[in-house]
Amino acid sequence: MFHYFFTYTTDIPKGLGFSLFGKEHMTWLAGIIILGACLCVLYRKSGEQRRLATQRVLGTMILVFDLYKDVVLVVTGKFNTWELPFDLCGLAVFICFAYAWTNWDKLDEILYFLCMPGAVSALLFPNWTRYPQLNYMNIHSFLIHGLLVVFPMMLIIGGRVRPRFSHYYRVWAFLAVLVPIELLLNAKLGTNFLFLEKPSAGSPLVPLFELTGEHFYYLGFALLVAGVNFLMYLPFLFLDIRERMNWKSGKGSRSNGEKRRYGE
């Protein structure tokens, strides 16, 4: 049963993995949704001190859990350039840890518009389907990506993080620095960080690549990111409109945070 528990993907025989949206995949997704919902409810109902402790524990767990994966790969002699933490979810591990201990609000939009949808995409279209269920890398991959979704969602539902359109430029400023570095790393290491060289099999990037072709793949990718981000911002847009209307009609007053949001 545990024969392939620490076996790396290159040594896994074909036919032992799982299928996209098969029963194993859906069971993992359901478990992550249930766990995430429970954590979000508990966080929202907690006092300030407990919230702070919860986000620090969770942020530290994410980092430690991912570092332990690297230790396992080093010990088993399977650590390689593809396991370096330069993909979006690898970077999200450190971003979540940093936010957990600093509450640096300049990371709000990065967490919500990049880290969370990246982890959701990985859960919906995993590229580790070759692994059997009782394999450490399979278990780690589902759990770490699940936590990378739950962490920012918990902060948003708890009111700690509030994405703002006026700060959305931070997402593209971050990408403007990150993408050239990733392209250089991919060229030097032969990797595919951020899926900039080719789309992940089974993901929506495959039809995008087929539609745009190699020459317009980056443009199509950027438009896809912008489109997804727009849909993600809609709930906050409606909330902002409602708050403005209530304030103008005298039905409510703005908190200090809301005043800062509108530049007052």
Indicate whether 1 belongs to any domain.
no
What pLDDT is recorded for position 92? 97
CA–CA distances in Å: residue 163 to residues 109, 121, 259: 5, 20, 15
Indicate whether 165 belongs to any domain.
yes
What pLDDT is recorded for position 263? 36
Q: Which two tokens stand for residue 219?
A: 């443009």
To the nearest 10°, the Cα dihedral for 220, 225, 229, 230?
A: -10
Indicate whether 4 belongs to any domain.
no
What pLDDT is recorded for position 24? 96
What pLDDT is recorded for position 1? 59
Indicate whether 141 belongs to any domain.
yes
- Report yes or no: 58 and 113 within 8 Å, Cβ to Cβ: no
Return the H-helix or E-strand segment holding 7: none
CA–CA distances in Å: residue 97 to residues 102, 114, 162, 234: 9, 15, 18, 27
- Give the SS3 label for residue 224: helix
Q: Cα dihedral sign for 102, 107, 109, 110? A: negative
The one-digit pLDDT tens for each residue of the chain (264 residues) are 578 899 998 899 888 999 999 999 999 999 999 999 999 999 999 999 999 999 999 999 999 999 999 999 999 999 999 999 999 999 999 999 999 999 999 999 999 999 999 999 999 999 999 999 999 999 999 999 999 999 999 999 998 888 888 899 999 999 999 999 999 999 999 999 999 999 988 899 999 999 999 899 999 999 999 999 999 999 888 887 887 777 777 655 454 444 434 333
* Alpha carbons 16 and 32: distance in angstroms, whole number: 23
* Residue whose entry in the numeric block shows the structure tokens 């443009």: 219
Indicate whether 3 belongs to any domain.
no
Residue span of the structural domain in which 190 resides? 9-261
What pLDDT is recorded for position 264? 39
What pLDDT is recorded for position 2? 76
Indicate whether 2 belongs to any domain.
no
Total domains in the chain come to 1
